[in-house]
Structure formats: C-alpha cells, structure tokens
A and B are shown apart, each in its own frame.
Chain A
Amino acid sequence: MSAGFLMFYSVLVLFGMMLLGIYGVVTRSNMVKKIIMLNIMGDAINMLFIIIGYRLVYPVFPPVYEGHIPFDEFLRTAVDPVPQALVLTAVVIGMAMNILLSTYAIQIYRLYGTVDVRDVAHLRREGK
C-alpha cells in the first residue's frame, strides 16, 4: 500500500510541476525564464508518462526478454514499454527544440540588447 501511496504522491508532485511550468511561461516576461519553465513543464510531462508505465509488482524488470525467466512470469513483472518508447524520442526532440529556442533568445539579445518580450514587441512597433 505504501508503494501505491508513493505513486500517487509523485503523480501529484508532477502535476504541481506541470502547473508551475505553465504559470512561469504565462507570467514571466524574460525569455530565458520562459524557456526554463517550459523545460520544467516538459520534463514533468515526460516523467508522468514513465510513471504511468511503471508496475507496482515486487521484482519489476525492464522490458528486455532474454529468456532468463519463463515467459508468463516475464509478462507479469515487466514494465509497460509503450510510454518509454514515446518518451525516448520526446526527450531528444525536446533537447533540439530547446537549442532552437535558446538560439533565438541569444540572437534577439545580440540584435536588440534585451530578452524581455514586452521590450522586443515595443521595438518592433517602433521599427514600423
């Protein structure tokens, strides 16, 4: 039962992290802080996926079948491989997207000298 409680507890903490990430993206005006909060949100979502795939059985195995145990026992003790496969690609794509966003922020800072979204919008209006 305590394992079930830990699972609920971590799911709730991850929901909290997700909402915290959305809150940061909405309220901060600094682009770097926005990117950091977006990362926190993305990591919380990925972690949530992994937790959904976890099994609350005692000897829990990775989803790799090497013939070391009988097959029905493997099915009883292996974790769900589908969320892992989904998160695996999402993590790397998230890294690449993170690099793209940071590059934009760096370039905007080089060109305008600010990473505040309000100031950047203001500069654009003046330029017209």
Chain B
Amino acid sequence: MTVKRDTAVALSFLLAFLVLSYAVVEKDVMGLSKNPLRPLGEFYLGHAFASGELTSHSPEVVTAIVWNYRGFDTLFETFVFFLAIMGTLSVLRLREGQERMVRDMERVEPHRHMDLIVRVITRLVLLMIIGISASIALHGHLTPGGGFQGGSAMAVASLLLFAVFSKFTLERRGLTLRHTLGAYAVGIAIILLTVYAPLALGGRFLQINLLPGELGLFDLDVGEYLAVSFGFLSVFLILGVSEWIFRRILRGEVR
C-alpha cells in the first residue's frame, strides 16, 4: 500500500519536472535565451552612484538596493530575524534557579581538550575569519559585501569556535549570554536610530539620503553586522549547553 502511494508521489513529481523543463527549454517562460538586463536592474545600476536626486552614494549597487531603494524589505527582514532568534531563545529559556543548576553542573563537567595542532590552527583561522568578516561588513558600501554577509561569516567563526573549543572558552573570558544579547540589542538600536534619524532632519522614515554622504548605509551595515553575528552567537551559547545537563533540568520540570 505505502509502496504504491510512494510510487504515485514520485511519478507525479517526475511529471511536474518534465512539464517544467518543457516550459523552460521549449517555451522559454523564464526568458533565459535572450537574457537581457531588466529595466529595474538598469535603473539601479545607473542611479546608485550618480549625482542626481535618486542617488544612494554607494558604488556597490547591491547594498544600495538592500538598504536604500528597498529599505523597508530589509528592515522587516531584520524583524523576521529578530523573531526567529527570540523564538529560539524562548523555547530554550531557563529560569533563574535552573541557570544556577546549569552553572553548578557545568563546574563538575570533565574538561576536554582537542589536539594542540587543531587548537593553534583554529585560533589562527578564527582570527582571519573575524578580520575578513569585519572588512566585509565595514566596507559593505564600497566593495561587494555588507552587514548580512559579514554577520553570517562571523556566525561561521563562532560555529568553528564551538566545535573545536567549547562555550567555556568564551565564558572564562567573560563573554556570557547577557553580553552577547546586549551586543545584539546595540545592533538593533543602531539600525532603529539610523532609520528614525531622517525624521529629526525633516525627512521621512528611512530617507537615509538626508544623512551626510554614505553615513546611513555605513551605520545600517554596522548595525546589521552586530545584530546577525551576536544573534547567532547567543543562540549557539544556549545550544552549547551539554545534553545531559539539559535533560536533567527538563526531567525536573516535567515530573
């Protein structure tokens, strides 16, 4: 019975694939064979660095679109990101007593080291990734890059750190969940300040051309960089709690 149903599903997907490929190759529904530059893209390419009223002071057209021409899209994407991070944090939320239990249990957890070669090389690579991600984000309005890209590079760096070392490496240096959430809040605050600043200068919401030069794009890139990298880092800090500790705490909660 299930084999029959699976076969039917697979056959229908194969049929859909055939129809789609016929439409794309023979009927050219996506316009791939001519492949022109679309008028909207031409408008953005022509105006992003021009000296008119529609400029956005940035040779990097992608950043200009993301934060200036289609700024509302990106602002609400930032809120979607905020909701996803907050959802994760609230699912894994611990009460104050439970946090104390976690700290007590982590103190007795056996301390493990990776090999010396792995640790040294990871330290070097981490420095490089962090430098590259900062340069991607801070140069985002001049060269290819921006806040989102730099932030996700930084998230990769923190994943590597968690794989080779552990969350204790960060917490021994004094970087706890409270600090990373604070940095996340600073990033969101920079974005909101930059977005509301044109109102004080007599403009409209998100009209960042009123700010001097490319300051608006730079601020938004820095804010998004902080928000993305520290948002991911704070989630990883909670996910890095050992499984047996979490299970013991949940067992206390359920029964």
A contacts, CB < 8 Å to B: 4, 7-8, 11-12, 15-16, 19-20, 22-23, 26-27, 52-56, 62-66, 71, 74-75, 78, 80-82, 84-85, 88-89, 91-93, 95-97, 99-100, 103-104, 106-107, 110-111
Contact = CB atoms under 8 A, between A and B. Distances in A.
A19 B16 CA distance: 8
A23 B14 CA distance: 10
Contact of B45 (A15, A16, A78): A78
Contacts of B88: 99-100, 103
Contact of B250 (A81, A99, A110): A110
Contacts of B246: 110
A15 B21 contact: yes
B183 to A, nearest CB: 16
Interface string B66-97: 10001001100100110011011001100000
A75 B143 CA distance: 18
Contacts of A81: 41, 44-45, 61-62, 65
Contacts of A91: 148, 152
A22 to B, nearest CB: 7
25 contacts: A7-B35, A8-B32, A20-B13, A26-B9, A64-B143, A64-B144, A65-B61, A66-B59, A78-B45, A82-B41, A82-B65, A85-B65, A89-B73, A89-B148, A91-B148, A92-B81, A92-B228, A93-B77, A93-B81, A96-B80, A96-B231, A96-B232, A99-B85, A99-B232, A110-B250
B216 interface: no
Contacts of A62: 144
Interface residues of B, number: 60
B213 interface: no
Given A81-B65, A96-B84, 13 more contacts: A4-B33, A20-B13, A23-B10, A23-B13, A63-B45, A64-B61, A89-B73, A93-B80, A93-B81, A96-B85, A99-B88, A103-B239, A111-B254
Nearest to A104: B91
A71 B187 CA distance: 36
